[in-house]
Amino acid sequence: MAQTVLHTATSRGGADHGWLKSYHTFSFANYFNPERVNFGALRVLNDDTVDGGRGFGEHPHDNMEIISIPLSGSLQHKDSMGNLATIEPGEIQAMSAGTGIYHTEYNKDKDQPVKFLQIWVFPNKRNVEPRYDQLKINAPEKPNTLVQILSPNPDDAGVWIHQDAWFNLGKLEKGSKVDYTFQKKGNGAYIFVLEGEIEVDGQVLNKRDGFGIWDTDTFNIQAISEQTEFLIMDVPMEF
Partner 1 sequence: MMRTEILVIGADPDILQTILRLLNAEESWHADGVAGVKEALTKCSIKTYDVLLLGAGQTMREEEELKTELKRLYPALPVIPHYGGGSGLLFAEIYLALGKMNQAQ
Residues contributing to the site for partner 1 (CB under 8 A) = 27-30, 32, 34, 37, 43-44, 59-64, 97-102, 120, 122, 126-127
**Contact between 232 and 180 (Cβ < 8 Å):** yes
Report the run of H or E that residue 44 belongs to, with start and end: strand 42-50
Decide: residue 193, CB within 10 A, 0-12 exposed, 13-18 middle, 19+ buried. Answer: buried
Least Cβ distance, residue 26 to partner 1 (angstroms): 9
Strand locations in 75-226, DSSP E?
75-79, 84-87, 91-96, 101-107, 114-121, 131-136, 146-151, 159-160, 166-173, 177-181, 187-195, 198-200, 203-205, 210-214, 218-223
Scored b (16 or more CB within 10 A) or e, 129-139 reads: ebbbbbbebee
Least Cβ distance, residue 69 to partner 1 (angstroms): 17
DSSP 9: G
Q: In this complex, which beta carbon is closest to partner 1, that of residue 44 or of residue 94?
A: 44
CA-atom Rg of the chain in angstroms: 17
Least Cβ distance, residue 227 to partner 1 (angstroms): 32
Q: In this complex, which beta carbon is closest to partner 1, that of residue 28 or of residue 167?
A: 28
Q: In this complex, which beta carbon is closest to partner 1, that of residue 43 or of residue 77?
A: 43
Q: In this complex, which beta carbon is closest to partner 1, that of residue 44 or of residue 146?
A: 44
Least Cβ distance, residue 62 to partner 1 (angstroms): 4
Least Cβ distance, residue 229 to partner 1 (angstroms): 26
Q: In this complex, which beta carbon is closest to partner 1, that of residue 23 or of residue 28?
A: 28
